[in-house]
Structure 1
Amino acid sequence: MSFVARRVAAFSTALIMLAAFGGSAFAQKKYDTGVTDTEIKIGNIMPYSGPASAYGVIGRTEAAYFRRINAEGGINGRKINFISYDDAYSPPKAVEQARKLVESDEVLLIFGPLGTPSNTAIQKYMNAKKVPQLFVQTGATKWNDPQNFPWTVGWQPNYQSEARIYAKYILKEKPNARIAVLYQNDDYGKDYLKGLKDGLGDKAASMIIAEDAYEVAEPTIDSHVVKMKSLNADVFFDIAGPKFAAQAIKKASEISWKPLHILNSVSTSIGAVIKPAGFENAQDIVSAAYLMDALDPQWKDDPGMKAFDGFLAKDFPEGNRADSLVVTGFNVAQTLVQVLKQCGDNLTRENVMKQAANLKDFRTTNLLPGIKINTSPIDFAPIEQVQLRKFKGDKWELFGPMLSSEIGG
């Protein structure tokens, strides 16, 4: 064979090889810290102890869901290594745990960290490090700020918008209301308070007769509730975490104060709040929802609720079906799995954020009918609709139309 013939043959062989392997050559795996061919390392921060420990069940639910995903083969063949730490709802502790996860454990991202104070404390660090702070478990408005914080994404409807919906309800039901507001003295409580004032507009100054802040370190909020009754308030806007919400419901009943009681959505778990406070004390409380309540009989035969019940039976038998925080954990974990699926073999932090900002009409199993998760590079608020509900008997009853909780909606 001549030299030219050999060159032609070699070139032909190269072309055949390129054709055979070209696909994989152009679709090379791209990994960042925390990812291998067999593992995706995910960090998490939860208040497993301290004044907000009721929320810790969200982290335990997520861990159970990821164990299930791993048992089914993982995501594109990779198992999730879920590393979850306790911050006791303490911002300094949250910073310590975030640093540990990013710098020592070397996770790909931090998923579902809970609490407005804690996430506020770590937001600048996460963005400076360019590590995704994904599907934050708090509805503070600040998580939807892609221009200034492109590595932080919320999940649930935002607090200000939810409060504006309550304001519209108050204006319709009690146009001459005397409103007493109890709120947690941090960004979480202040976000709700701002939304209420925005929703009431120029009537806020005359309608809100008390703005009473409590500290999470207080053992009880009983004195705050007694003070509100003494002011003859006929609307009680209750911006409290689960422990304090249960105390407020119970105390209002003990002192025979029966205002229109509006309870922020993060503290509406029947198992964690209503039952401890007493069903008889919680009658006619108004709140909002975006997820199905497992105790609502209308979802008994819903495929999504059957999937949730199957998860509890097989993967999380210790989970309390009456605790809506379990439903939350089950659904937010599905959202992360969807993002990781969309990433394929490009598991860089940059692509994780790209996919998190590219969710299109995605539905987790227990979102209320009609609600879909959508994000874009300029909109980091995945869920923007809620429906009002009232507590009757031993369950929440939805009423009225689906409402937009989008800013300006």
Structure 2
Amino acid sequence: MRLLAAPLVLPGLRMRRSRAGVIDVRDFGARGDGAVDDTAAVIRALGAAAEGDTLWFPGPAAYLIDAVDLGRHGHAGLTLAGDADALLRKAPTGRFGGTNTEHLFFDARSDGASDGLTVRALAFELSAAAARPGDTVSAFFLARADGLRFDACRFVDGIEEGLKLYACRDVEIVDCHFERLRNDGVQVHAPPAGQDGYTGPRGERGWRNVVIERSTFRAIDDGLGGVEGQGVTFNSRSPMVTCTGATVRDCLFERCVRGIWAEVNEPGARVLDLRIERNRVLESVTIGLGVVGVEDAVLARNEVIDPVGADARSDALAGIVVSGSSAPRPRSRRVDVIGNRILDRRAGRARMPVGIVVRQADDVRLRGNQVQGAREESVRIDRTARGVSQTP
């Protein structure tokens, strides 16, 4: 992964244009008063930036932004950063068709303008209370961008994902916080060209090398009564590409519908080499951790506490689920579930029915897992699973 030099910021220092490569948005008319739309000022500041520059948001301030097209106005190697008390807030009404159909920052052009983007220590508020039917808003929607890093950022109060990343490669999301979002905190996806909002070139590709660590995901829901709503999700709908290399470790998931979910259910689509390690999942509404149709996955040393809400209904609900789909859709293959602890502290019917479920999967190894408090059974291996081994 390409590492980009970042300007040194001392505690309490307010950066203006005091040094080359730092572009202060207030020098281009941004008010940051939470009332005036600062979108045009941010675009002017981007126009003054060059590759590798830092766009700086001074605080204390609340910058009201509608939509910034990084594909048109951005530059490779750009850094977005600001003071700890700087907030970037979604404007409550959109400019297109009367609804918010644009994300705060987006690039669906796929021509490299967002490659090497770093976002550091910024807070994004997505104004869910002002949303209307048909609105679709994330903090970032990036397609086919490489070398991304999100460091110590906050994403809150949204009607869609915090980060929507389509076919992106070499991505790091570190020390970030996601709260009160719909659908997903982070969505990593490989859609077919022309679908799911992806408007780039016809050539399709998979995502690759995504690392998410030391981040918090809280109250991620979908507003549909606990059907979906993941802290992190990995998926692919393209049968033409292979997605490979994802790691989620040392993260906290609290009161999400599902903590981490990786799913491939289109014939021919593939997701390989997934590692879910040392995460803590508290009070998931349905499943704590799950993989569906994934190959070469490791779920190790995670802690899942009080999963599956009392109102959840499915025979596949559990702390950890390894599953697949019926042919021709893919089955999960070569999955290791090692050293996980699944604990339900509740009483009676409120407890989870099963600790671990395996079905529609091949070559699954269960080793050294601890399940306490399951209402029906600790581990359920369905007859559709093949080659499952289990050791204490």
TM exceeds 0.5?
Answer: no
Between Structure 1 and Structure 2, the one with more strand by share is 2
Q: Flag the structure with more relative contact order, 1 or 2, with Cα contacts below 8 A and sequence separation at least 6.
A: 1
Which interval holds the TM-score relative to the shorter structure? under 0.3
